[in-house]
Amino acid sequence: MKVAIIGACNVGTALATSIARGGHDVLITSRDPDDAASAAAASGARVVESTAAAASEADVIIPAVGFADLGEVASEIADAA
């Protein structure tokens, strides 16, 4: 299963690590490309350049962002999901 993690801070990285260990293909994205790269290196996930691209590839989408950012994420993935 392909799982997209939107957000690459502590929670996103921890989720990506656990899900990748479970044998799933994990996509990770962040508004900060360096954060996404670090999270991918630590977890075994694959960096995707945009939230919409991650959502369009994934079977499951997990937003790992703060509550204040959920509206923006929802707008970015609305057409892909």
Whether pLDDT at 79 is above 90: no
The answer to whether the beta carbons of residues 56 and 36 sit under 8 Å apart is no
Residue appearing with tokens 């801070």: 9
- Give pTM, 2 decimals: 0.91
Whether pLDDT at 81 is above 60: no
Whether pLDDT at 57 is above 60: yes
Q: Over the chain, what is the mean pLDDT?
A: 95
